[in-house]
Amino acid sequence: MIDSDALNIPKSSFPRVVIVGGGFGGVALAKELSGKEVQVVLLDKNNYHTFQPLLYQVSTGGLEPDSIAYPIRKILQDYKNFFFRMAELQQVVREQKIVVTNIGELSYDHLVIAVGSETNFFGNIEIEKNGMAMKSIPQSLNLRSMILENFEQALLTDNLHERDALMNFVIVGGGPTGVELAGALAEIKKGILPKDYPDLDTRRAQINLIQSGDRILKEMSEKASEKAEDFLESLGVQIWKNTRVTDYDGKKVSTKTKLEFEAATLVWAAGVKGVSIKGLDAENFLVPGNRIKVNEFNQVVGDSNIYAIGDIACIQSDTTPYGHPMMAQPAIQQGTHLGENLVRLFDNKAMQPFKYKDKGSMATVGRNKAVVDLKKYRFQGVFAWFVWMFVHLFFLIGFRNRMVVFINWVYNYIRFDREARLIIRPYQRDYSKFNEPRTSKKEV
Ligand SMILES: Cc1cc2nc3c(=O)[nH]c(=O)nc-3n(C[C@H](O)[C@H](O)[C@H](O)COP(=O)(O)OP(=O)(O)OC[C@H]3O[C@@H](n4cnc5c(N)ncnc54)[C@H](O)[C@@H]3O)c2cc1C
């Protein structure tokens, strides 16, 4: 039952801005509003901010999850008139200017939707059920556990065919996430698996990266795509271009080109869509990809008190017909800009339109291997890898996290290791599709 006073936010003479989502956009906005004559209530379903660009390192045992997560309360603790509630937004009731959450209702003067995006399986229920997504820390930990459990299981079967399937990986989507994950898995295969599993022929493990288009990293320059492909191939990753995955039953991966793969692990990194919000889910609010249509001030079209920023928001213009890229920089810049605009609004000044400053894009494939496209310069290799590391450390929230990640990277670099390969929270997948493990018969 919903209690309307459950959030316990005091009344204030200042306008109340409710921000839903403590990701890149929500946090940038909160920082911009600190010290201003406003009451800010930040809601998030988690009590931490997630640095998603390094999720793949959690999945592959390179980093512990707490080094890429940061308590939202700690971000806000020095700001006056700021309140955080761990709450999941369920509905926006525009007529009454309230949000409905799992812990109660809350009224707003201005509402900012910054809930980001979720994995888009494009309606394929079987792939969603049997494949793995990597959009949150719990999902990354599931993937880490499952990868390790598959190898433990591979040790238990006599059937070579089944053993190969347990050691094979299929990664769908040749964007930065797919490329980075494939590179990390290839490094594990080369440097760690032979030592950890001396009684398995881990050379037989395959890492397949499947891309529906004709090049990987298609949002980057052709040179970056070519070089990333070279890097991946040098690490032993098999890249399948112009190949569209159509089905996955937990073991067999089917494609439109009739190519088939047998793999116990399929990671779906082939698309995201905006998180659906009841009350803002009618067709007139949305563009394809479930993003909320906003004007150049990030105002939801048709409601001047509601704003959307980051992945969930789409500012359509002649130069951005599909909105801005669903990446950290647009979210951060929109959060900061909306903060400035709200202050202008409270001062009875005109709001300014959002202008995106493209700072370039980058992806890493592995040690000493990265590709960077800046506005004026493009480079690949060792220098690009250092730039990639520097940028990621810079944008991580929290001094401790930066230090922990830096020390881990130095350690992993020197020792060729990834020590967080731990099954802390077993994933417990159903292995019935694979050969019966030798031990299970005796144990039952
Ligand atoms: C694996 C991966 C790798 C990536 N790598 C890069 C990269 O290298 N470079 C780059 O620029 N971008 C990268 N991105 C994209 C980038 O992380 C996103 O574009 C960015 O996080 C968007 O910021 P946001 O503020 O819109 O949303 P998010 O950062 O996703 O934050 C949304 C917040 O809303 C909360 N939330 C969601 N639903 C609700 C609800 N109903 N109620 C309450 N709270 C809710 C979530 O808990 C979360 O804290 C990557 C993404 C992933 C998944």
Q: With respect to residue 352, please indicate whether it lies within any of the assigned structural domains.
A: no
Q: With respect to residue 356, please indicate whether it lies within any of the assigned structural domains.
A: no
Tell me if 46 CB under 6 Å of ligand 1. yes
Q: How many residues does the chain have?
A: 444
Helix ranges (DSSP H) in 327-398 = 328-346, 382-395
Domain that holds residue 148: 125-270
333: domain CATH number is 3.50.50.60
Q: With respect to residue 165, please indicate whether it lies within any of the assigned structural domains.
A: yes
Tokens of 205: 């493990």
Together in a domain, 337 and 285: yes
Tell me if 44 CB under 6 Å of ligand 1. yes
Together in a domain, 261 and 293: no
Q: With respect to residue 405, please indicate whether it lies within any of the assigned structural domains.
A: no
Q: What is the mean pLDDT of residues 21-38?
A: 97
Together in a domain, 225 and 260: yes
Total Cβ atoms within 10 A of residue 74:
14
Residue 156 φ/ψ, nearest 5 degrees: -95, -5
Q: With respect to residue 188, please indicate whether it lies within any of the assigned structural domains.
A: yes
Together in a domain, 254 and 141: yes
Mean pLDDT of the chain: 95
Q: What is the whole-number distance in angstroms between the Cα of residue 262 and the centre of ligand 1?
A: 31
* Distance separating alpha carbons of residues 15 and 108, to the nearest angstrom: 8
The residue nearest atom 29 of ligand 1, judged by CA position, is 23
Tell me what pLDDT residue 434 has. 84
* Distance separating alpha carbons of residues 407 and 179, to the nearest angstrom: 24
Together in a domain, 12 and 24: yes
* pLDDT, tens only, 170-195: 999 999 999 999 999 999 999 999 99
The enclosing H or E element of 274 equals strand 272-274
Together in a domain, 292 and 259: no
Domain boundary among 346, 378, 396: 346
Together in a domain, 114 and 132: no
For residue 428, pLDDT beyond 90: no
- DSSP state, 437? P
Q: What is the whole-number distance in angstroms between the Cα of residue 166 and the centre of ligand 1?
A: 31
HEC string for 221-247: CHHHHHHHHHHHHHCCCEEECCCCEEE
pLDDT-derived band at 1, boundaries 50, 70, 90: very low
* Distance separating alpha carbons of residues 364 and 87, to the nearest angstrom: 35
Together in a domain, 102 and 187: no
Total Cβ atoms within 10 A of residue 64:
18
For residue 309, pLDDT beyond 90: yes
Q: Which atom of ligand 1 is nearest to the CA of 312?
A: 26
The enclosing H or E element of 59 equals helix 55-59
Q: With respect to residue 76, please indicate whether it lies within any of the assigned structural domains.
A: no
Q: Which atom of ligand 1 is nearest to the CA of 25?
A: 25
Q: With respect to residue 21, please indicate whether it lies within any of the assigned structural domains.
A: yes
**Which of 55, 90, 327, 387 is the pocket-test mutation for ligand 1 (most atoms within 8 Å of CB)?**
327
Q: Which atom of ligand 1 is nearest to the CA of 54?
A: 3
Q: What is the whole-number distance in angstroms between the Cα of residue 333 and the centre of ligand 1?
A: 14
Q: What is the whole-number distance in angstroms between the Cα of residue 159 and the centre of ligand 1?
A: 41
Total tally of structural domains belonging to the chain: 2
* Distance separating alpha carbons of residues 172 and 1, to the nearest angstrom: 41
Tell me what pLDDT residue 4 has. 52
Tell me if 120 CB under 6 Å of ligand 1. no
Tell me if 89 CB under 6 Å of ligand 1. yes
Domain boundary among 216, 247, 270: 270
Q: Is the pTM of this model over 0.85?
A: yes
Together in a domain, 228 and 322: no
Q: What is the whole-number distance in angstroms between the Cα of residue 117 and the centre of ligand 1?
A: 6
pLDDT-derived band at 2, boundaries 50, 70, 90: very low
Tell me if 26 CB under 6 Å of ligand 1. yes
Together in a domain, 292 and 208: no
Together in a domain, 112 and 234: no
Domain boundary among 346, 380, 406: 346
For residue 444, pLDDT beyond 50: no
Q: With respect to residue 8, please indicate whether it lies within any of the assigned structural domains.
A: yes
Residues with Cβ within 8 Å of residue 141, at least 6 apart in sequence: 58, 59, 65, 424, 425
Together in a domain, 100 and 138: no
The residue nearest atom 51 of ligand 1, judged by CA position, is 52
Using CB atoms within 10 Å of the CB of residue 184, give its burial: 0 to 12 exposed, 13 to 18 middle, 19+ buried.
Answer: buried
Q: What is the whole-number distance in angstroms between the Cα of residue 43 and the centre of ligand 1?
A: 15
Tell me if 311 CB under 6 Å of ligand 1. yes
Tell me if 396 CB under 6 Å of ligand 1. no
Q: What is the whole-number distance in angstroms between the Cα of residue 64 and the centre of ligand 1?
A: 19
247: domain CATH number is 3.50.50.100
* pLDDT, tens only, 351-387: 999 999 999 999 999 999 999 999 999 999 999 999 9
